[in-house]
C-alpha cells in the first residue's frame, strides 16, 4: 500500500506536467520542508493523481488507510495557493494535498449496516467502513439543475456530497412523487418507512454550484 503510493507519486514527480493548463509539478517544494501534491476525485468517488493521463479503476488509489486519512483531513483550501482550481486541501504534516473534483469532493458509493440499533451508514470515496456518515433518508435531495442525488456530508468537506450514479440507481425505486413525475420527489421509502424529503440541502447546493 504505502510503497505503491510512493512509487506512483515518484513517477509523477519525475515528470514535469507537459499540458499547458497544469501550472504545478507533483511533489514540488514551495518552501523549506514543504511538499505539494495534486489530486482529482471523479463522479464515482475514485481518487487519482490529478495529472494521471488515464483515470479508471486500475489507476485510482485503493489503499483504505490512505483514503481514510486523506478524506478525514479534507477541508476548504484557504492556503492562498491554487484555491481557484483546487478548492479543497488535505494536510499531512508539512505535506499539502490539493484536490479538485468533477462535482463534489465527497461521493457516496455504498450503503452499510450500522450499529445494532439498525441505523444505516453511507460510505464514501472508497473508504469502506472507515469513511462513513449516518444515513439520513429524509435528507436525500434531487438537485433540479442536473437530476443528481445528494446527501449531507462532513461539514469540513463542504457539508454535502454526491450520491454516485450506481448508488442512486439502487435508491431510485424508493422515491415517491406525490406532486407528479415532472416535479422532484416528495418522499423516500426506506426500510419499511416513508420519509418526507426536506430538500434542506438545496440552498447549500446552490451555493456550492455558484461558487
Of 29, 26, 16, the residue nearest 40 (C-alpha): 26
Same domain, yes or no: 119 and 41: no
Domain shared by 97 and 112, yes or no: no
Residue 22's pLDDT band (cuts 50, 70, 90): low
Q: What is the pLDDT of residue 10?
A: 43
**Domain shared by 47 and 140, yes or no:** no
Mean pLDDT of the chain: 89
Other CB atoms within 10 Å distance of the CB of residue 54: 7
Q: Domain boundary at 101, 129, 157, which?
A: 101
Domains of the chain: total: 2
The residues pairing with 100 across neighbouring beta strands, listed in sequence order, are 40
Percentage of the chain lying above the pLDDT 90 cut: 78
- C-alpha to C-alpha distance for 17 and 208, rounded to whole angstroms: 29
Q: Which residue has the higher pLDDT, 210 or 66?
A: 66
Question: Residue 115: which residues within 8 A CB-CB, separation 6 or more?
Answer: none
Residue 110, CB-side half-sphere exposure with 13 Å CA sphere: 14
User: Three cell numbers at 94?
Assistant: 508539512
**Same domain assignment for residues 54 and 115:** no
Note whether 142 and 193 are same-domain residues. yes
Residue 211 confidence (pLDDT): 65
60 shares its domain with 121: no
Parallel, antiparallel or unpaired: strands 141-142 and 175-176: unpaired
On whether both 111 and 97 belong to a single domain, the answer is no
Q: Of 86, 101, 116, which residue constitutes the final position of a domain?
A: 101
* Whether residue 183 sits in one domain with residue 151: yes
Q: What is the pLDDT of residues 125-181, one digit of tens each?
A: 999 999 999 999 999 999 998 999 999 999 999 999 999 999 999 999 999 999 998
152 lies in which domain range?
107-210
Beta bridge partners of 189: 194
Same domain, 118 and 79: no
- Domain finish residue from 69, 101, 133: 101
Same-domain pairing of 133 and 167:
yes
Quickly state the pLDDT bin for 47 (edges 50, 70, 90): very high
Domain co-membership, 168 together with 93: no
CA pair distance 85, 98, nearest whole angstrom: 9
- Closest to 41 (Cα-Cα) out of 25, 26, 60, 24: 60
Confidence of residue 11 (pLDDT cuts 50, 70, 90): very low
Instruction: Please give the pLDDT value at position 182.
Output: 87
pTM of the complete model? 0.87
* First-last CA distance in the chain: 35
**In a 3-state reduction of DSSP, which class is residue 65?**
helix
Sign of the Cα torsion 170, 134, 195, 103 reads negative
Q: Please report the pLDDT score of residue 119 as a whole number.
A: 85
What pLDDT is attached to residue 207? 85
Do 96 and 112 lie in a common domain?
A: no
Under the banding of pLDDT at 50, 70 and 90, the label for residue 59 is very high
Amino acid at each position: 500500500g504505502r510503497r505503491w503510493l510512493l512509487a506512483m507519486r515518484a513517477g509523477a514527480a519525475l515528470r514535469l506536467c507537459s499540458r499547458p493548463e497544469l501550472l504545478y509539478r507533483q511533489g514540488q517544494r514551495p518552501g523549506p520542508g514543504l511538499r505539494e501534491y495534486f489530486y482529482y476525485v471523479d463522479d464515482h468517488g475514485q481518487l487519482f493523481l490529478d495529472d494521471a493521463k488515464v483515470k479508471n479503476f486500475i489507476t485510482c488509489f485503493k489503499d483504505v488507510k490512505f483514503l481514510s486519512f486523506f478524506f478525514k483531513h479534507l477541508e476548504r483550501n484557504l492556503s492562498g495557493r491554487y484555491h481557484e482550481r483546487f478548492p479543497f486541501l488535505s494536510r499531512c504534516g508539512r505535506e499539502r494535498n490539493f484536490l479538485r473534483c468533477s462535482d463534489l469532493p465527497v461521493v457516496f458509493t455504498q450503503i452499510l449496516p450500522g450499529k445494532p440499533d439498525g441505523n444505516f451508514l453511507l460510505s464514501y470515496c472508497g473508504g469502506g467502513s472507515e469513511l462513513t456518515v449516518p444515513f439520513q433518508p429524509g435528507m436525500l435531495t434531487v438537485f433540479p439543475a442536473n437530476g443528481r442525488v445528494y446527501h449531507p456530508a462532513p461539514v469540513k468537506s463542504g457539508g454535502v456530497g454526491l450520491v454516485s450514479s450506481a448508488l442512486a440507481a439502487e435508491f431510485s425505486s424508493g422515491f415517491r412523487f406525490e406532486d407528479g413525475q415532472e416535479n422532484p420527489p416528495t418522499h423516500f421509502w426506506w426500510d419499511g418507512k416513508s420519509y418526507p424529503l426536506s430538500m434542506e440541502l438545496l440552498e447549500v447546493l446552490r451555493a456550492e454550484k455558484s461558487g
